[in-house]
Amino acid sequence: MTLTAFRERVINNVGLSRRNRYIVLIGNIDGINTKFRDDILLFCEGAQLPSKSFASNPHRMFGETRQVPYEKLFNELNLSFYVDNDYKVKDFFEAWMGTVQNRGNRKFNYYDSYTTTVEMIILDVADNPKYRVRFNEVYIKEVGDMDYNYGHRDIQKLPIKLVFRNENYGGPQNIRENYGDAPVITDALSSYTGEFDSFQQNGDNPFRFLFDSAVVQGIRSLKPVRTDLGTIKLRR
Q: State pLDDT tens for residues 52-93.
A: 999 999 998 888 899 999 999 999 999 999 999 999 999 999
Residue 217's pLDDT is: 47
- pLDDT, one tens digit per residue, over 157-186 is 999 999 999 998 877 655 545 544 433 433
From the list 135, 136, 114, 157, the residue with the least C-alpha distance to 49 is 135
Give the Å distances, CA to CA, from 67 to 74, 194, 209: 19, 47, 53
Domains of the chain, CATH where assigned = 15-52+72-171 (2.30.110), 185-223 (no CATH)
**Residue 39 confidence (pLDDT) above 70:** yes
pLDDT band, very low/low/confident/very high, at 16 (cuts 50, 70, 90): confident
CA distances from 151 to 157, 159, 201 (A): 16, 21, 20
Q: What share of the chain is helix, strand, coil (3-state, %, to 5)?
A: 30, 30, 40
**Residue 113 and residue 152 in contact, taking contact as beta carbons nearer than 8 Å:** no
At 107-132, the pLDDT tens digits run 999 999 999 999 999 988 888 888 99
pTM listed for this prediction: 0.70
Distances, alpha carbon 82 to alpha carbons 44, 48, 124, 182, in Å: 6, 15, 23, 30
Confidence category of residue 191, pLDDT binned at 50, 70, 90: very low
Q: What is the DSSP string of 163-216?
A: E-SEEEEE-HHHHHHHH-SS-SS-HHHHHHHHTHHHHHH--S-TTHHHHTSSHH
